[in-house]
Chains A and B, each alone.
Chain A
């Protein structure tokens, strides 16, 4: 069986080629062909991803593979091998997290490509749109497949640029209300740049601390415990899977098996103790992080006695013995393995860290040296996490940088679905899961992440309640759901975060595409109305009182249930999935997060962890209530009641190329939660495999806790469902059949029932104004910035530099000097000299002319005298005088 993992370069190359074709030939291809190119590229990438996924689902290979693509081996290489050197190879990390992300990106991406064929029909920049989509996909794939933080950053920046280009895709369109598209694009770019600064700082700090930015070295596996559990299947199938070439895994598997067979055959007492401890804990599925320190003491014995066993015990976690072998440099060891070794050192204890060119072994303790400063590894770790979280808050729209995502809805709807709901914004979650080892060792970091995630989920959930724009509700919902994922990571629930990421990708893509379908329908309805009015010149445009018609404003909608049945049903399914009603996708993933938070907080002895578990559990429960509330509000306003505009009255159902992806996604949104059915109670035991998804992912998450295999909790599920139903009931009672949201002049002055209720009007207004967050930024950052800019422009630049320095100092000085040079020097001296020579010549010639008598005789005499003089001069020296 050939290794499908080697398809990874192709997965990236295919969208790249598609993008290039559309970029350079798109205008010649025409709409049909360039759409075909774009869709083919993404579908091919999807097929490859499925093959890779299938290959990795074999337990013998899930430990992860590092692939060096040809040509790019020495991507960044500075310095020689001896002494200081930086070597960052372009390597792909293929493990189960990668595989899941690949499926999400290419799967949802392909559906959105197909949907775009219909949605972008007739757009003059059709080919460019598909080129951008393909290129975005390429960068996203680089992001999730890279084996180091720098490759991740390449993808990270790439998706940022594509996001900027796609948000501003209709840059020349002036929005009817609020921001122009280009403003939104710039806002997204700037907010992201602030976050990117964090990523850069984190990468630099990581490199400084560990001497490498690689996640793993080719020989390392992520999760030694997982390998131990599956050791037998690995060794049995190893011959078949030649590509499981990682030496550590091999040594590991053989060692582990040998251990099983030989039992306590080792000689030394210490070594025996170690191995039994290793075996016991490994079988319990707990990462063996404590071993390194104890083994430090018994390094030599252990190495002598049970080398294989020791390697087996650690696998990914480079053991002290390996380091005593002193044949590695830090860049031969991934960041996470190094971290494992460092963090577990005691105060004052050191380990051999690297070998300098002259052969001396460099020791290293917990202190990390930064030039003249040094810090404990845990402080450095917290700093790294803070910077990573800053980056995540930019890309994944968390507090404090979430403000850009709602404005990003200015872009075409497929973009909103693909990038701003399903893929790009999950990059931050992916990065956090990737960095799980960091997070595991830093309780402060966990608390920070938990607080940010929960706060984001709450703030964005509340804000979504107050929005009029159909896509903006979904945008704030996305921000809120991303907060759920980040909060999950804050309580160590990596699997739950990824699980929610997957389900959310499906149902939020569904909702966005559904909203795109609604907008499309309302726009067509509006055109229809205008065509009617063009015939009879009544001029009574219902929605046109000086304000342009906004097809995205929910106050213009209503009653679309009958006009757009497919869109309605699929949208309803998406709403159920997002609200977390039982059976639908969100139910499983959201409950898993809540349960993990509960267990994490309850079982931990660390007060910080208890706090974060508490915050996350109650915060997310409330946020889940918000979710169900604003979604049902939206359903009521868009699909129920009477149409509140002529456009809504005439909205047609969308074309099949748009509705078919909706149906596919709706099926997905209904059933995808079943991939990770928890065990524990009767109906679930009927399933073939329990915690399938969790088991799949755990291989890639070295610091996984037991949380991912928790049993179904009826009480919690009941509570969450009750909250969701309660919120839906509340929303229903407020919005059902209520036409108050339509004002006299259509959408412009439409009021919400919450607004007219004394006790809630303040809250609604605040939510409608986005909790004044943007105003806050305006007041704190943008206006002072503008003031300072104005000051610099007017006072410093104009008054000082222009008026004083340029006009007074430079210009006047120049004038003075040039006057000086021109008058006395040029005119006086140089001109005088030249003219003087002329005058002299003229004067002399006047004197000499009289010598010319014109008489031949005179000339003859002069000639004669001259000859005589010459002869005399010639002859005189020849005459000897006085001899």
Chain B
């Protein structure tokens, strides 16, 4: 390993990506954009997992990444279907309009 990017770099990148995703979730009103922000957070988590896996020479991180990707794909399938259904009934995907679950 004559040349290797230190793990801290990946970690910092992952942190930046996660922060961007989190801010996106909190600040955007478009449901699709919120969705994408969530994907961004997941991917930042994936990046961190892979980085740690490399750091420790372990396979578990990679396996978790595959799991996360699979779950994310399933989530997208369900989430997009939900968004489409909501749009059909409300003519909007602004999440601020969706507060029927209010206590």
Measured CB to CB, the nearest residue on chain B to A855 is: B99
Is the C-beta of B103 less than 8 angstroms from some C-beta in chain A? Answer: yes
The answer to whether A864 and B22 touch (CB under 8 A), given A856-B34, A856-B95, A857-B95, is yes
Is the C-beta of A854 less than 8 angstroms from some C-beta in chain B? Answer: yes
The answer to whether A850 and B99 touch (CB under 8 A), given A857-B26, A860-B26, A861-B26, is no
Is the C-beta of B1 less than 8 angstroms from some C-beta in chain A? Answer: no
Is the C-beta of B91 less than 8 angstroms from some C-beta in chain A? Answer: no
Which among A849, A850, A854, A856 has the highest number of chain B CB atoms within 10 Å? A856
Question: In the complex, are the beta carbons of B26 and A854 less than 8 A apart?
Answer: no
Partner of A852, one of B22, B34, B96, B102: B102
The answer to whether A849 and B103 touch (CB under 8 A), given A854-B98, A855-B95, A857-B95, is yes
Measured CB to CB, the nearest residue on chain A to B34 is: A856
A861 CA to B102 CA in the complex, in Å? 16
Nearest CB of chain A from residue B73's CB, rounded to whole Å: 21
A856 CA to B103 CA in the complex, in Å? 13
A221 CA to B34 CA in the complex, in Å? 124
Interface string of B66-103 (1 = CB under 8 A from A): 00000000000000000000000000000110111111
Partner of B103, one of A851, A861, A864: A851
Measured CB to CB, the nearest residue on chain B to A861 is: B26
List residues of chain A with CB within 8 A of the CB of B17. Answer: none
Is the C-beta of B42 less than 8 angstroms from some C-beta in chain A? Answer: no
Which among B34, B95, B102 has the highest number of chain A CB atoms within 10 Å? B102
Measured CB to CB, the nearest residue on chain A to B23 is: A864
Is the C-beta of A757 less than 8 angstroms from some C-beta in chain B? Answer: no
List residues of chain A with CB within 8 A of the CB of B34. Answer: 856
Nearest CB of chain A from residue B24's CB, rounded to whole Å: 10
List residues of chain A with CB within 8 A of the CB of B40. Answer: none
Question: In the complex, are the beta carbons of A864 and B102 less than 8 A apart?
Answer: no
Question: In the complex, are the beta carbons of A864 and B26 less than 8 A apart?
Answer: yes
List residues of chain B with CB within 8 A of the CB of A849. Answer: 103
Query: How many A residues have CB within 8 A of the partner chain?
Result: 13
Is the C-beta of B25 less than 8 angstroms from some C-beta in chain A? Answer: yes
Measured CB to CB, the nearest residue on chain B to A849 is: B103
Nearest CB of chain B from residue A190's CB, rounded to whole Å: 88
Nearest CB of chain B from residue A850's CB, rounded to whole Å: 6
Question: In the complex, are the beta carbons of A855 and B25 less than 8 A apart?
Answer: no
Question: In the complex, are the beta carbons of A860 and B102 less than 8 A apart?
Answer: no
Interface string of A511-542 (1 = CB under 8 A from B): 00000000000000000000000000000000
Measured CB to CB, the nearest residue on chain A to B28 is: A857
The answer to whether A852 and B103 touch (CB under 8 A), given A860-B26, A861-B26, is yes
Interface string of A841-867 (1 = CB under 8 A from B): 000000011111111110011001000
List residues of chain B with CB within 8 A of the CB of A852. Answer: 101-103
A411 CA to B96 CA in the complex, in Å? 109
A856 CA to B82 CA in the complex, in Å? 14
List residues of chain B with CB within 8 A of the CB of A850. Answer: 103
A88 CA to B98 CA in the complex, in Å? 102
List residues of chain A with CB within 8 A of the CB of B26. Answer: 857, 860-861, 864
A861 CA to B101 CA in the complex, in Å? 17
Question: In the complex, are the beta carbons of B103 and A854 less than 8 A apart?
Answer: yes
A853 CA to B103 CA in the complex, in Å? 6
Measured CB to CB, the nearest residue on chain B to A867 is: B22
Measured CB to CB, the nearest residue on chain A to B103 is: A852
List residues of chain A with CB within 8 A of the CB of B96. Answer: 855, 857
Question: In the complex, are the beta carbons of A860 and B25 less than 8 A apart?
Answer: yes
List residues of chain B with CB within 8 A of the CB of A857. Answer: 25-26, 95-96
List residues of chain B with CB within 8 A of the CB of A854. Answer: 98-103
Which among A852, A855, A861 has the highest number of chain B CB atoms within 10 Å? A855
A857 CA to B98 CA in the complex, in Å? 11
A864 CA to B26 CA in the complex, in Å? 10
A857 CA to B103 CA in the complex, in Å? 15
Nearest CB of chain B from residue A48's CB, rounded to whole Å: 104
A860 CA to B38 CA in the complex, in Å? 11
Measured CB to CB, the nearest residue on chain A to B96 is: A855
Measured CB to CB, the nearest residue on chain B to A856 is: B95
A852 CA to B101 CA in the complex, in Å? 7
Nearest CB of chain A from residue B29's CB, rounded to whole Å: 8
Nearest CB of chain B from residue A852's CB, rounded to whole Å: 3
A787 CA to B22 CA in the complex, in Å? 104
Nearest CB of chain B from residue A472's CB, rounded to whole Å: 104
Nearest CB of chain A from residue B70's CB, rounded to whole Å: 22
Measured CB to CB, the nearest residue on chain A to B38 is: A860
Measured CB to CB, the nearest residue on chain A to B25 is: A860
A864 CA to B25 CA in the complex, in Å? 10
Interface string of B19-52 (1 = CB under 8 A from A): 0001001100000001000000000000000000
Nearest CB of chain A from residue B7's CB, rounded to whole Å: 17
A855 CA to B31 CA in the complex, in Å? 12
List residues of chain A with CB within 8 A of the CB of B100. Answer: 854
List residues of chain A with CB within 8 A of the CB of B101. Answer: 852, 854
List residues of chain A with CB within 8 A of the CB of B25. Answer: 857, 860
Measured CB to CB, the nearest residue on chain B to A860 is: B25
A352 CA to B15 CA in the complex, in Å? 117
A226 CA to B103 CA in the complex, in Å? 120
Nearest CB of chain A from residue B12's CB, rounded to whole Å: 16
Measured CB to CB, the nearest residue on chain A to B37 is: A860
List residues of chain B with CB within 8 A of the CB of A864. Answer: 22, 26
A856 CA to B26 CA in the complex, in Å? 9
A861 CA to B27 CA in the complex, in Å? 10
Measured CB to CB, the nearest residue on chain A to B27 is: A857
Measured CB to CB, the nearest residue on chain B to A848 is: B103
Question: In the complex, are the beta carbons of B102 and A856 less than 8 A apart?
Answer: no
Measured CB to CB, the nearest residue on chain A to B100 is: A854
Nearest CB of chain A from residue B27's CB, rounded to whole Å: 8
A134 CA to B54 CA in the complex, in Å? 110
A851 CA to B102 CA in the complex, in Å? 8
The answer to whether A853 and B102 touch (CB under 8 A), given A860-B25, A864-B26, is yes
Question: In the complex, are the beta carbons of B22 and A853 less than 8 A apart?
Answer: no
A864 CA to B18 CA in the complex, in Å? 11
Nearest CB of chain B from residue A375's CB, rounded to whole Å: 101
Nearest CB of chain A from residue B93's CB, rounded to whole Å: 12
List residues of chain A with CB within 8 A of the CB of B95. Answer: 855-857
A732 CA to B57 CA in the complex, in Å? 145
A850 CA to B98 CA in the complex, in Å? 16
Nearest CB of chain B from residue A842's CB, rounded to whole Å: 14
A850 CA to B99 CA in the complex, in Å? 13
A360 CA to B22 CA in the complex, in Å? 110
Question: In the complex, are the beta carbons of A856 and B22 less than 8 A apart?
Answer: no
A857 CA to B100 CA in the complex, in Å? 14
Which among B25, B101, B103 has the highest number of chain A CB atoms within 10 Å? B103
A800 CA to B98 CA in the complex, in Å? 82
A809 CA to B66 CA in the complex, in Å? 83
A853 CA to B101 CA in the complex, in Å? 7
Measured CB to CB, the nearest residue on chain A to B98 is: A856
A853 CA to B96 CA in the complex, in Å? 10
Nearest CB of chain B from residue A150's CB, rounded to whole Å: 92
A864 CA to B19 CA in the complex, in Å? 11
Nearest CB of chain A from residue B31's CB, rounded to whole Å: 9
List residues of chain B with CB within 8 A of the CB of A848. Answer: 103
Which among A848, A849, A857, A864 has the highest number of chain B CB atoms within 10 Å? A857
List residues of chain B with CB within 8 A of the CB of A855. Answer: 95-96, 98-99
Nearest CB of chain A from residue B21's CB, rounded to whole Å: 11
Partner of B99, one of A853, A860, A861: A853
Please list the residues of chain A having a beta carbon within 8 angstroms of any beta carbon in chain B. Answer: 848-857, 860-861, 864
10 closest Cβ contacts across the A-B interface? A852-B103, A854-B99, A854-B102, A849-B103, A854-B101, A856-B95, A860-B25, A855-B99, A860-B26, A857-B26
Given contacts A852-B102, A856-B34, A857-B95, 6 further A-B contacts (CB under 8 A): A853-B102, A854-B98, A855-B96, A855-B98, A856-B95, A857-B96
- 14 A–B pairs (Cβ distance < 8 Å), ordered by A: A848-B103, A851-B103, A852-B103, A854-B99, A854-B100, A854-B101, A854-B102, A854-B103, A855-B95, A855-B98, A856-B34, A856-B95, A857-B26, A864-B26
